[in-house]
């Protein structure tokens, strides 16, 4: 895989709680230079033009998050965040499921969360569902994937990168790909900082990689 091909797997991400507009501007500049698929920024950084001035993303897509990072927001709040982001021109929403509901096995409530965000994020915009796979057992990963399918999501995603249990693993990506099949996206995110790890996730079934180290991943 060439660097240019690998770049099209990457969501170049800045979700640090202490991020400032100059860092967002630098992220955009680097994303366009590297040719990544998307950038992902916090909702407070939207609309981009009001934060960093006129922006030319070219082919780079714009993503943001909802219910981030804990997932312990109400369904209505997650949907409202998504709807506001759509008005600000985003192409993709990465929403966090309520992990407690996953532990409880409440597939219907989980699917309701996803469906609400899906309704607020009309196609062709994409909805990615973050399940925090490192905090789940295999059966819970399957349940979260099933609920994501039920709710009409386009992707399932391993991690926020903020949970103490950790980020993406090859095992989790393989399970998620197996559960959702070939038609749905799988995004590996959390702790992916080098070329070898990114390629391992892609070989395991990831169709997108979330990272804050795009230049390092593409430099090897």
| pLDDT tier, 201 (very low <50, low <70, confident <90, very high otherwise) | very high
Q: pLDDT tens digit string along 42-68?
A: 999 999 999 999 999 999 999 999 999
Q: What structural domains does the chain harbor?
A: 3-219 (3.20.20.70)
Beta bridge partners of 30: none
Beta bridge partners of 191: none
Q: Give catalytic residue positions.
A: 94, 157, 187
Q: pLDDT tens digit string along 133-172?
A: 999 999 999 999 999 999 999 999 999 999 999 999 999 9
DSSP structural state of residue 210: E
Q: What is the pTM of this model?
A: 0.97
HEC-encoded secondary structure of 135-182: HCCHHHHHHHHHHHHHCCCCEEECCCCCCCCCCCCHHHHHHHHHHHCC
Q: What is the pLDDT of residue 102?
A: 98
> Which residues are CB-neighbours of 217 under 8 A, at least 6 positions away?
6, 10, 192, 193, 194, 195, 198, 209, 211
Extended beta strands in the chain, E state = 10-14, 38-41, 61-66, 92-96, 126-130, 155-157, 185-189, 208-211
């Amino acid at each position: 895989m060439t660097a240019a091909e690998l770049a099209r797997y990457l969501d170049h991400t800045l979700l640090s709680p202490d991020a400032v507009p100059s860092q967002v501007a630098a992220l955009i500049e680097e994303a366009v230079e590297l040719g990544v698929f998307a950038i992902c920024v916090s909702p407070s950084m939207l609309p981009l033009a009001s934060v960093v001035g006129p922006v030319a993303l070219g082919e780079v897509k714009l993503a943001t998050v909802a219910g981030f990072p804990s997932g312990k927001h109400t369904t209505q709040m997650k949907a409202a965040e998504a709807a506001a982001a759509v008005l600000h021109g985003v192409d993709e929403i990465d929403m966090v499921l309520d992990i407690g509901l996953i532990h409880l096995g409440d597939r219907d409530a989980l699917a309701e969360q996803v469906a609400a965000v899906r309704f607020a994020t009309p196609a062709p915009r994409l909805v990615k569902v973050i399940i925090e796979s490192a905090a789940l057992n295999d059966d819970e990963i399957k349940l979260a994937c099933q609920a994501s399918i039920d709710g009409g999501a386009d992707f399932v995603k391993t991690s926020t990168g903020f949970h103490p249990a950790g980020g993406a693993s090859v095992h989790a990506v393989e399970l998620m790909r197996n559960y959702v099949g070939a038609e749905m996206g799988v995004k590996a995110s959390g702790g992916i900082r080098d070329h070898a790890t990114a390629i391992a996730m892609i070989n395991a079934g990831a169709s997108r990689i979330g990272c804050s180290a795009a230049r390092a991943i593409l430099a090897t």
